[in-house]
Amino acid sequence: MMIDPPIDRLIKKAECRYALVCGVAKRARQLDAQYPELLKEAGMKSISYAAKEVYEDKIVIRSENV
C-alpha cells in the first residue's frame, strides 16, 4: 500500500512526529464530524484528506495546538 502524500515529506511540516500525528488525527476527526459530504465527494478517508491538507499547506500543525 502506498501512502500519499509520502510520510517523509509530511514529517517536515511539523516540529516532531508526535505533533504531526496528533494534528492530522485532530483534523481527521473534525472532517468526520463536520464535513462527511466533502469526504464522500473526494472519495477519501478522513485521515488521508487531513494528511493531504497538511502536505498542501492548507493547515499548519503547531505543537501548542496538539
Q: Which mean pLDDT values do the consecutive 10-residue runs of the chain (66 residues) have? A: 75 90 95 96 94 94 74
pLDDT of residue 38: 94
Those residues whose C-beta lies under 8 Å from the C-beta of residue 46, and which sit 6 or more positions away, are: 28, 29, 31, 32, 39
Q: What is the pLDDT of residue 19?
A: 92
What pLDDT is recorded for position 60?
Answer: 92
Q: How far apart are alpha carbons 50 and 36 in whole angstroms?
A: 13
Would you state the pLDDT for residue 6?
A: 83
C-alpha cell at 18: 508526535
pLDDT at position 1 is 44
The reported pLDDT for the residue numbered 65 is 60
The pTM (predicted TM-score) of the whole model is 0.86
